[in-house]
Amino acid sequence: MCLAVPAKVLEIKGDRAVVDFGGVKREISLLLVKREEVREGSYVLVHTGYAIAVLDEEEARETLEIWRELSEQLQEAG
C-alpha cells in the first residue's frame, strides 16, 4: 500500500521544491511531474519525497479535509 500526501508548493528551485505539509516544510523532487504545471502556491501529491501529481486547489482542499478528519478520529481513539 502506498501513501501520498498533498502539500502546498512554497518555493521552486529548478527540479526541486520546498513544500508545506500543514506546517512541516520539506524539500521534494519535481522530476516525476510536468514542471510547467507546478507553480508557487499550487498543490502537489507527494510520495517518498517526489511529487507524483499536480492537484487543483479544490481537490487539494478536499483531500486535506479528509486528512484532518482522519487525524481527529485517530486522536479520539487514542
For 40, the domain range is: 5-77
pTM here is 0.85
Grid look-up 523532487 returns: 29
By C-alpha distance, which of 18, 12, 17, 53 is closest to 32?
A: 53
The pLDDT tens digits for 3-33 are: 888 999 999 999 999 999 989 999 999 999 9
Rounded CA-CA distance 2/9 in Å is 21
The pLDDT of residue 29 is 98
Rounded CA-CA distance 14/62 in Å is 28
Task: Give residues with Cβ within 8 angstroms of 71, minimum separation 6.
Answer: none
CATH number for the domain harbouring residue 67: 2.30.30.140
Length of the chain: 78
Total domains present in the chain: 1
